[in-house]
Amino acid sequence: MPHLQSLNVLLVDDNQHMRTIAAAVLHSADIHRVYEAGDGAEAFEVLRRQPIDLALVDYNMFPMDGVEFTRRVRNRPDSANIYLPIIMMSGHAEKHRVYAARDAGVTEFLVKPITAKAILDRINAVIFRPRPFVKTATYFGPCRRRREADDYCGPFRRSADGAAASNAA
């Protein structure tokens, strides 16, 4: 995929075998600038030294996991790129894990075992169809809504908005 060849990708996983597999997929897509880190703390340091366009990050690592890494990227004042697209990889797809990753500010979630198609689909999504970023009192990251309702014509986006508006009136 020649349109991806200019990307600098950070690959973060504590399993060297997994990094080798993911790096091979990236190289096959003509992505040759792949930086590797064994945990979130090491990855955060790489971000300070290298201009990174995209991060593929494992969920479960020690001493800093992917969720904490994502929180640091999104919220720390010393973060090199708060808008960095982050694709979280995990062998565990339980709802609470996916929600924790989403709420930390992950851009996409990928369940292991990974496939080349799944990785490239997620990369294309975050690079060519990026979601807008949202900042609230408790969250900063990509908009967590996956789709906009084209037929929506009401004044409120959530069912709770109507109750809040009628209580305020």
Is the model's pTM score more than 0.95?
no
Question: Per-residue confidence of the chain (169 residues) as pLDDT tens digits?
Answer: 557 899 999 999 999 999 999 999 999 999 999 999 999 999 999 999 999 999 999 999 999 999 999 999 999 999 999 999 999 999 998 999 999 999 999 999 999 999 999 999 999 999 999 999 999 999 999 998 765 556 556 555 555 444 444 444 4
pLDDT for res 167: 44
Supply the range of the domain harboring residue 87: 2-168
The dihedrals phi and psi of 11, each to the nearest 5 degrees, come to: -110, 120
pLDDT for res 110: 94
pLDDT for res 4: 86
pLDDT for res 158: 54
Other CB atoms within a 10 A radius of the CB of residue 130 amount to 13
For 72, counting Cβ atoms within 10 Å of its Cβ (0-12 exposed, 13-18 middle, 19+ buried), the class is buried
Q: What share of the chain is helix, strand, coil (3-state, %, to 5)?
A: 40, 20, 40
pLDDT for res 2: 52
CATH number at residue 74: 3.40.50.2300
- What are the tokens at 33? 């600038």
Q: How many folded domains does the chain comprise? A: 1
